[in-house]
Amino acid sequence: MARVNTADGSKVHGKLNKKDNQVHRVINGREFVHAVENPYDGPASKNQKAHRTIFGQTNAVINTILADPAQKAEWRKRMEDYNRSVNAMLPDHPKRFATVRQYAYFVISEQLKQTPAAKQRKSRLPLTLPKELKLHVKRFPELSAAEIYEILKARFTVFVGEQHIHYLDEDNIDYIATHFALRRKGTVIAYARLFPDKPKGVFSVGRLLTIERGKGYAKYLMQQIIHEARTQGAHALRLHAQTYTVPFYKKLGFRAVGEPFIEAEIPHILMEMPLA
């Protein structure tokens, strides 16, 4: 028995005859024959040709991944992380994957479907947050003990746990800072802080982090910070950027100032952005 899409778009169950590419089924003694549309054989429309191209390119990449035990193990870990996040956030979400091939096909084909022009248009659109994420912008006295705990936990996870930076995170700046946190059910997913610096009218951004990367949350937070800085009367923003993040900040309007320097054993560079 086979479940297939027919040429008219409907789905049927029946015995598939591969020679004539038809599904045969019998209902109440009558035989019904359904022609099956195969997007990979015969004449094709423009969309079907694009579908074939994506299918071929995706499978070529996946075959390379599955042939390499290290890559396969890495993709399996990514799949398991994805499945866990889906189960936690959306229990009824249909996109759970049982094999590495299924997950890799989903990820890679989605990337191939986005042309450079489409990606560029998408990058100009403002980020719409998922319904389960909420932005909280608060001064230190407004934060509850639980909120402070979650902020410090997120900072420890990224800066100490991932980047192995060993320093006293609590530097007393938190008391004068405005704290920006994207939260899901209280848990911090992305975070940054904004505080007045010297000279007067210059504000600094620090501790920018994202727990879930590649979703635009850092860009969203920075846009909110730039808006808030203007609201608080800032005429310039500055930050110490880890050197690999320089392209990200340049896209937001920052420019590098001076030469790279070492901070917390990691190369940084001072970046500034005029707000006037």
Q: Which CATH number goes with the domain that contains 223? A: 3.40.630.30
User: Contact at 8 Å (CB) between 190 and 211?
Assistant: yes
Taking each continuous run of H as one helix and of E as one strand, the counts in the chain are 7, 11
Closest CA to 7 of 41, 50, 31: 41
Q: Stretch 239-263: mean pLDDT, rounded?
A: 88
Supply the Cα-derived Rg of the chain in whole angstroms. 26
Residues 194 and 115 placed together within one structural domain of the fold: no
Percent of the chain scored above 70 by pLDDT?
67
Alpha-carbon span 27 to 33, nearest angstrom:
11
Percent of the chain residues past pLDDT 90, beyond the cut? 22
Given this model, what pLDDT does residue 200 score? Answer: 84
State the pLDDT at residue 125: 44
CA distances from 136 to 151, 185, 215, 225 (A): 11, 12, 18, 12
Interval 170-180 mean pLDDT: 89
Q: Evaluate whether residue 41 is within a structural domain.
A: no
Q: Is the pLDDT of residue 145 over 70?
A: yes
Using DSSP's 3-state secondary structure scheme, residue 106 falls into: helix
Q: Is there a single domain that holds both residue 173 and residue 75?
A: no
Would the pLDDT of 27 be above 90?
no
Q: Specify the DSSP element, H or E, that contains 181.
A: strand 178-184
Q: Domain end: 81, 104, 124, which one?
A: 124
What's the pLDDT score for residue 166? 75
Q: Are residues 223 and 153 in the same domain?
A: yes
Read off the pLDDT of each residue in 236-253 and give the average, rounded to a whole number. 90
Is residue 9, in this structure, part of any structural domain at all? yes
Residues 181 and 140: beta-carbon distance below 8 Å: no
Boundary residue ending a domain (75, 92, 124) = 124
- Mean pLDDT on 184-190: 90
What was the pLDDT predicted at 191? Answer: 95
Query: Which is nearest to 191 in space by CA: 150, 131, 143, 233?
Result: 150
Instruction: Please say if the pLDDT value at position 61 is more than 80.
Output: no
Same-domain pairing of 189 and 264: yes
The mean pLDDT value for 45-59 works out to 68
Same domain? For 114 and 156 the reply is: no
Looking at per-residue pLDDT, the higher value among 212 and 91 belongs to: 212
The DSSP bridge pattern shows strands 187-196 and 202-210 to be antiparallel
Quick one: average pLDDT of 153-162? Answer: 87
- Regarding whether 183 and 142 lie in a shared domain, the answer is yes
Residue 87 placed within a domain:
yes
Q: Containing H/E element for 259? A: strand 255-263
Q: 63 with 191, same domain?
A: no
265 shares a domain with 141: yes
- pLDDT > 90? residue 188: yes
Say if residue 25 is in the same domain as residue 97. Answer: no
Q: Six-digit token pair at 83?
A: 């499945």
The answer as to whether 270 is a domain residue is yes
pLDDT over 90 at 259, yes or no = no
| pTM for the predicted model, two decimal places | 0.54
**Are 259 and 139 in a shared domain?**
yes
Quick one: average pLDDT of 202-208?
92
Q: Is residue 175 part of a domain?
A: yes
Mean pLDDT of the chain: 76
Alpha-carbon distance 98 to 83, whole Å?
A: 9
Say what the pLDDT of residue 146 is. 92
Cβ atoms of 81 and 124 within 8 Å: the answer is no
Both 142 and 117 in one domain: the answer is: no
Domain membership of residue 17 as a residue range: 2-35
- In this structure, the answer to whether residues 137 and 270 fall within a common structural domain is yes
Q: In this structure, is residue 215 part of a structural domain?
A: yes
pLDDT tens digits for 65-79?
888 888 888 888 878
- DSSP-assigned beta bridge partners for residue 272: 238, 255
Is residue 105 a part of any domain in this protein? yes
pLDDT tens across 83-141, in order? 776 544 444 444 677 888 887 777 776 655 554 544 444 444 446 677 888 899 999 99
Tally of domains within the chain: 3
Q: Is residue 251 part of a domain?
A: yes
